[in-house]
Structure 1
Amino acid sequence: MIATVSDKPALTVHLCAPRGFCAGVDRAIQIVELALEKYGSPVYVRHEIVHNKFVVDSLKDKGAIFVEELEEIPSDDQDRPVIFSAHGVPKSVPEDARARNMFFLDATCPLVSKVHKEAQIHERRDREILLIGHTGHPEVIGTMGQLAEGTVTLIETEDDARNFIPKTDRQLAFITQTTLSVDDTAGIVEVLRQRFPDIVAPHKEDICYATTNRQEAVKAVAPLVEAMIVVGAPNSSNSQRLREVAERSGCRVSSLIQRASEINWSDFDKITTLGLTAGASAPETLVEEIIEAFRQRFDVTVELVRTANETISFNLPRELREYPSPTPTAAE
């Protein structure tokens, strides 16, 4: 048998690990799937359960209906289960659901719930609260909505931290969105600590383990490659941060894409090394789809770059625990 040499250019794909689904996202998707199994369709979901169109569309196909507000649910369907997304919701939302006699399941990531509880503790201890995060993100809306309007001040940038003027002479405390850039947040926190040495920090880091781990993996891979692809949605905060981390770490091309069909091949036609990761709400099947797209054009060798092992899992709501959980699609 005569060996043949590929006429495709060689490409080494440095595959980040960890990548893709985190425990909070996996739990949220399981909640929708198990609710459909137990209660039948339709099951309503307030806001995208996670920020990924592929995931949302697959759940729609199974019978989930997505709404932005509870009043969008038809009156003759208000006895159907309603699920709150992984990003968390303002306290007014479950109150509204109770007032409408709705049955609801809360898929808020437990690490987001931890930030909610921190905000409530700071309020009980009569502290002025700052939230480091991004305006308009559902997680930020949910966290600020745990307390009365005007109670929490949002800080987005180091300039915000420099220009912030306390409203009172009470002790300051800060909390953070869970999906921020670790480095950006550290800079903001440093400014706040320089200005307010007695500011109270979270007992344990608010930026979640999955966000941190995925950013560290990108930092390890970025210096090794000519380009980086982050699989994720444009409205996914943690995916956007991964793209930014790759860019800051020296990648000439750093692209955020949802599917292989979005690849701009002119950005990759002359590369020999590629970094590949996925945001915490992107399923592994989309990573595999992109590798396969590159195999059509390149002679691909995949090298795994692991920087951490993840073994964390979260309990399901009590109402669903007797049901067998779907097998999660774990990233290597």
Structure 2
Amino acid sequence: MTAQKLTLYLAAPRGFCAGVDRAIKIVEIALHKWGAPVYVRHEIVHNKFVVDSLRDKGAVFVEELSDCPPDRPVIFSAHGVPKAVPAEAARRKMVYVDATCPLVSKVHIEAARHHENGLQMIMIGHAGHPETIGTMGQLPDGEVLLVETVADVAQVQVRDPERLAFVTQTTLSVDDTVDIVAALRARFPAIVGPHKEDICYATTNRQDAVKVIAPDCDALLVVGAPNSSNSRRLVEVARKAGCTYAQLVMRASDIDWRALEGIRTVGVTAGASAPEVLIDEVINAFCDRYDVDVRTVETATENVEFKVPRVLREPA
């Protein structure tokens, strides 16, 4: 029986961003430099395959600094941590490496600068996400107010409407954030925003690529983890762009083949913490079942690279 023909649109850019690549390298170099075990506070990036691979090499993942012995190195995840965490590590005389994405660190610096200028901060982000917790934890309690939606903007209680600034989580939906920023500016005309949007280049590029391919796809799969903010946003972007069946899958084994019966075109992309090996796995799964014509749709090229911290570049 001849296999059904299928056109597979492969979004580019997709998968790993420079911040994720750097964070994984930091754990691998730390293991090489200090030997196992090396402790990592929180998942280094939101991807089970990556975390399990690093665990197999000797990384130990914990949720709190109190779970780490004082005589072993500890790494802080790419999402960033509240100021209190490195302060506590220093107090305990621990060797620590900060793997916070430099673009998240930029938001931290921005928030601190506004605070020094006497401005109260509003953060656009998702409650409970490690990046939001880390950014809000840069300033004293009450100095950063969180809004998640346009409706939240109407309810937020500020100290002085004339002395406000805002920052955003780096992995939000670009379109949704535009609406929230507009609501903030309408309610607080004096609010100070970032010189350039806080949403990172990788999040923006991956969303733009999905917007291009989604209208041509009967189905679109995003390779990523359920706790990955940027991956979940890609699913939302695909649906808004006209692809009614858009789903998040961690591995090829998660694909619901019955739901895909009769499709002729499928889009594939991946969140910023999903490795290319998992994307290849999904493509191969389609090739096993269909006569596939793979078409890469490139909407941007990325050549960003971040250095690992100096402590890892120095000899042991």
Q: Which residue of 1 aligns with 2:13?
A: 18
Alignment of 1:38 with 2:30, yes or no, is no
For 2:39, the aligned partner's letter is Y
Q: Residue 61 of structure 2 corresponds to which residue in structure 1?
A: 66
Moved more, 107-116 or 170-179: 170-179
Is 1:113 matched with 2:108?
Answer: no
Query: Are 2:183 and 1:191 equivalent residues in the alignment?
Result: yes
- 2:205 matched residue in structure 1: 213
Q: Does 1:129 align with 2:124?
A: no
Residue 282 of structure 1, CA deviation: 0.2
Identity of aligned residues (%): 63
Q: How far apart, in 1, do the equivalents of 2:39 and 2:121 lie?
A: 33
Whole-angstrom CA distance in 2 between matches of 1:108 and 1:252: 35
The gaps in structure 1 that reach 5 residues or longer are 1-5, 324-332
Q: Which residue of 1 aligns with 2:4?
A: 9
Total equivalences in the alignment:
315
1:28 is aligned to 2:28: no
Partner residue, 1:142: 134
Q: Could you tell me how far 1:169 is from its partner in structure 2?
A: 4.8
Separation in structure 1 between the aligned mates of residue 218 and residue 205 of structure 2, nearest angstrom:
21
Match of 2:86 among 94, 98, 110: 94
1:282 to 271, 274, 277: 274
In the other structure, the counterpart of 1:171 is 163
* CA offset digits 1:269-302 (Å, max 9, x no partner): 2101000000000000000000111111111110
Runs of 4+ in structure 1 deviating by more than 6 angstroms, as ranges, are none
What are the equivalent positions in structure 2 for 1:231-246 lying under 5 Å apart?
231-246=223-238
User: How far apart in 1 are the matches of 2:63 and 2:248?
Assistant: 25
Q: Where does residue 304 of structure 2 map in the other structure?
A: 312
Is residue 200 from structure 1 mapped to residue 192 from structure 2 by the alignment?
Answer: yes
What is the Cα deviation at residue 193 of structure 1?
1.0
Q: How large is the RMSD of aligned CA atoms in angstroms?
A: 1.1
> Are residue 250 (structure 1) and residue 242 (structure 2) matched?
yes
Give the distance between the partners of 2:293 and 2:28, measured in 1 at CA. 35
Residue of structure 2 equivalent to 1:296: 288
Check the 8 A contact 2:162/2:191 in 1, yes or no.
no
Alignment match, 1:327: none
Q: TM-score normalized by structure 1?
A: 0.93
8 Å contact from structure 1 (residues 126, 170) kept in 2 = no
User: Is the 8 Å Cα contact of residues 43 and 82 (structure 1) preserved in structure 2?
Assistant: yes
Amino acid at match of 2:273: S
- Report the 3-state secondary structure (helix = DSSP H, G, I; strand = E; otherwise coil) of the residue aligned with 2:31: helix
- 1:321 alignment partner AA: R
- Measured in 1, the distance between the counterparts of 2:234 and 2:2 equals 33
- Distance in 1 (CA, whole Å) between partners of 2:110 and 2:189 is 19
